[in-house]
Amino acid sequence: MSDRMTRFLAGCLGALTVAACSGGAFAVEALAASDKARIAEITAQGGCPRCDLKLAELRGISMENADFDRAILREVDLKEAVLPNGNFRRADFRRTEAERSDFSGSDFSNASMRSVDLEKSNLTGANLQDVDLRESDMNSSIVSGANFDGADLRNVTLIRSIGHGATFRGAKMDGANLERADLRDTNFQNARLRQAKLDRISAKNADFSGADLSGVRLVSSDLSGANLTDVDFDGALLRRTRLPGADLTGAKNLDPSRILGACGDEATKLPSGIELATCTY
């Protein structure tokens, strides 16, 4: 092949490369414009009930009282969204990315939210009754006053979350990780927390009555004033657990050999055969 032909082909390939790169850049810009247009359209109509928005890029979308009833929001990018008091009843949120979002006061009842990422999100006062949240990331989220009654929270992570006054009545929370969570005045009546990690939680005045705490870890946890009546502690570890003022009347399967350094006070109510040292810390 002549040098002239070689230079000609090289020039053609270079032109094609530039065209391809330019086309790629144009596609990215067009996609970004399309996302902005979609967000603007959804915002203008106040939501998108029953819409199929799977894989949509809705990062940063902001509106109050949005209606996404039964919408398909599966694997959507909703990071930093601001959607307080929204309607997400029966919506599909599976594997959605919603870190640092504000869903305070929103209704998610009966939604499918398995493996959703809600890290550092605000769910204050939200309704998550009967929601499927299995294996979801809710670390450092705020769930104070939220309703998780009957929800499926198996293997969820709520590390360092804040849940003052939240309710988890009858929730399935097997294998959940709530380490260092602030759960003051929270209601776990009849919840199932088998093998859950409750190390270093603050659950002052929380209600665990009738809950299944089989195999849980309560290391350096504060359960001062907690209602622990009729709780099943089979295989649970209570190490340096604070129990002043707690009521353990009717608690079952407490193993003295697995109560290590736990303490209470004169107001602590214990089942027969269980003794605690007086708290000095």
* pLDDT at site 32: 61
Nearest Cα to 245, choosing from 271, 266, 218? 266
* pLDDT at site 35: 84
- Helix or strand run (H / E) with residue 10: helix 3-44
Q: Is the dihedral of CA 39, 41, 44, 46 positive or negative?
A: negative
Across-strand partners of 102? Answer: 82, 122
Is the Cβ–Cβ distance between 76 and 95 less than 8 Å?
no
Cα–Cα distance measured from residue 231 to residue 242, given in angstroms and rounded to the nearest whole number: 16
* pLDDT at site 281: 76
* pLDDT at site 24: 37
Cβ count near 32 (within 10 Å): 11
Cα–Cα distance measured from residue 108 to residue 128, given in angstroms and rounded to the nearest whole number: 5
* pLDDT at site 16: 34
Coil, strand or helix: which one is 192?
A: strand
Helices within 46-181 (DSSP H only): none
- The series of mean pLDDT values per 10 residues for the chain, 281 residues long, is 43 38 36 79 96 96 98 98 98 98 98 98 99 98 99 99 99 99 98 98 99 98 98 98 98 96 97 93 76
| Tens of pLDDT, residues 209-252 | 999 999 999 999 999 999 999 999 999 999 999 999 999 999 99
* pLDDT at site 21: 36
Token couple for 221: 């946890």
192 Cβ neighbours under 8 A, 6+ residues apart: 171, 172, 173, 174, 211, 212
| Tens of pLDDT, residues 12-30 | 334 333 333 334 333 333 3
Cβ count near 92 (within 10 Å): 22
* pLDDT at site 34: 82
